[in-house]
Amino acid sequence: MSGIPGNARAERRARLARAMADEGIDVLVVAGNPWRCDYLRFAADITPVEGHAFAFIERGRPARIIVEHPAEARRLRAEQTDLDVRWSLSAIEETEIAIRELGKRRIALAPLAAVPYRLAMGPLVASIAPATALLDRLMLRKSPSEIEAFRRAAVLADEGYAVFRQAARVGRPEYVLVAEVEAFLRSRGCPENFQILGSGGREVRGMHPPTERRLAPGDLVTTELTPCVDGYYAQLCRTLVLGEPSKTQERAFAVYNEALEAGIAAVRPGAKAREVARAQNEVFRDHGLGDYVTSEYTRVRGHGLGLYVDGRPAVLEDADLNLEPDMTLVVHPNTYHPEVGYFVHGDSVRVIPDGCEVLTRTPRRLFSVPLV
């Protein structure tokens, strides 16, 4: 979602201009596409929906934008009338030409994850400085306006999960649950939500986009719900049972809840992301479930949140990033359990000077949905 409030846009542009001046960068070229548009959102407040997009950022001047389709150019001009937008069927080549025309000015390029191969590895690479790390530093710590957007996204995550619980009934297909959440979020002015889910028992090894599978008595139903407000994502992970939870399901939940609380307790300024991961993993090891926090069964113990749904830092035991105030992330010990299947449990948090603020408020319990 683009078109954030003017104060947030001004905050981001001022922070970026200062950072460019400190690094001696004259022109910053930022690449993006519909999947990786977080850096473009930060630098130029644009969100491509079709093809590649490139923004040329100069201190004190409106951004220049190159896109691949005329419809994209018209949309971006309508959203921000001060932008200089042009389109080309050969947008990558056009960007390369525009970089050459800048002459001896100091040019930087970011992010590595979205830069096309021709620009990342082509003949211009020797004359262009990398700027991914610079933008990462700026994007990790949120400004007051960014924190406010994150808070509102967290509220929508809680409200969306209440809708999800009401939609979870025996016989309903998975896609209906997600459709009802999407309809609710759209009605609240939230046009973007990343959501996956799972349903079943021990055979379920993860989450996925919604399918036609119909919910059955005794199912564990998991979801990762991630609404976006003014470009900023917050995430909530919870698990429910259709019917009364079994003793085995309740014992499993107790492990995940202990792990989540240990992870959140480890979030504080000066801690490293690996300490948050280790705090969660040690709970599983203490319960004889250490095999299930390996890459064979799971991915991360959480990750950064902001303008991207799955940003830095990745909360893993080898993640060396220091946590600082106003970083935002989700802590979630999501993994497979050998007795009950895949289980999820997680909250969005903000690092504050004396520790951690939890922004999602849905109770930490194994929800039970009546069968009738």
Q: What is the pLDDT of residue 6?
A: 54
My answer on whether 196 and 128 are in the same domain is no
Per-residue pLDDT tens digits for 118-167 = 888 888 888 899 999 999 999 999 999 999 999 999 999 999 999 999 99
My answer on whether 85 and 181 are in the same domain is no
Q: What is the pLDDT of residue 1?
A: 39
Assess if residue 16 is contained within a domain: yes
Percent of the chain with pLDDT over 70: 98
Give the domain CATH number at 338.
3.90.230.10
- The size of the chain, in residues, is 372
Nearest partner of 313 among 355, 261, 359, 351, judged by Cα: 351
Note whether 173 and 213 are within 8 A (CB).
yes
Assess if residue 170 is contained within a domain: yes
CB atoms within 10 A of CB 117: 8
d(CA 235, CA 157): 6
My answer on whether 349 and 216 are in the same domain is yes
My answer on whether 212 and 351 are in the same domain is yes
My answer on whether 101 and 148 are in the same domain is no
My answer on whether 111 and 158 are in the same domain is no
Nearest partner of 189 among 222, 215, 223, 155, judged by Cα: 155
My answer on whether 148 and 103 are in the same domain is no
Assess if residue 87 is contained within a domain: yes
My answer on whether 135 and 167 are in the same domain is no
Assess if residue 188 is contained within a domain: yes
In which domain, by residue range, is 128 found? 6-139
Within the chain, which residues score under 70 in pLDDT? 1-6
Sign of CA dihedral 265, 270, 273, 278: negative
Terminal Cα-to-Cα distance of the chain (whole angstroms) = 39
My answer on whether 212 and 79 are in the same domain is no
My answer on whether 252 and 118 are in the same domain is no
My answer on whether 170 and 293 are in the same domain is yes
DSSP codes of every residue in 189-228: T---EEEEEEEESTT--S-BS--SPBP-TT-EEEEEEEEE
Q: What is the pLDDT of residue 3?
A: 43
| Residue that terminates a domain, selected from 116, 139, 162 | 139
- Residue 129 β-bridge partners: 108
What's the burial of 21, exposed, middle or buried (CB within 10 Å: 0-12/13-18/19+)?
exposed
Note the pTM of the prediction, 2 decimals: 0.92
Mapping DSSP to helix (H, G, I), strand (E, B) and coil, where does residue 275 land? Answer: helix
What is the helix (H) or strand (E) element at residue 30, kind and residue range?
strand 27-32
DSSP, res 82 = T
Assess if residue 194 is contained within a domain: yes
Note whether 139 and 42 are within 8 A (CB).
yes
**Residue entry with tokens 């969306």:** 160
- Full 3-state SS string of 302-349: EEECCCCCCEEEECCCCCCCECCCCEEEEECCCEEECCCEEECCEEEE
My answer on whether 131 and 179 are in the same domain is no
Number of structural domains found in the chain: 2
d(CA 6, CA 274): 36
Helix segments in 33-143, DSSP class H: 38-44, 70-79, 91-101, 117-121, 132-140
Assess if residue 112 is contained within a domain: yes
Assess if residue 30 is contained within a domain: yes
Give the domain CATH number at 129.
3.40.350.10
| Residue that terminates a domain, selected from 139, 161, 183 | 139
Note whether 335 and 343 are within 8 A (CB).
yes
| Residue that terminates a domain, selected from 104, 139, 174 | 139
Assess if residue 1 is contained within a domain: no
Q: Could you give the C-alpha distances from 160 to 150, 184, 293, in angstroms and in order?
A: 15, 7, 28
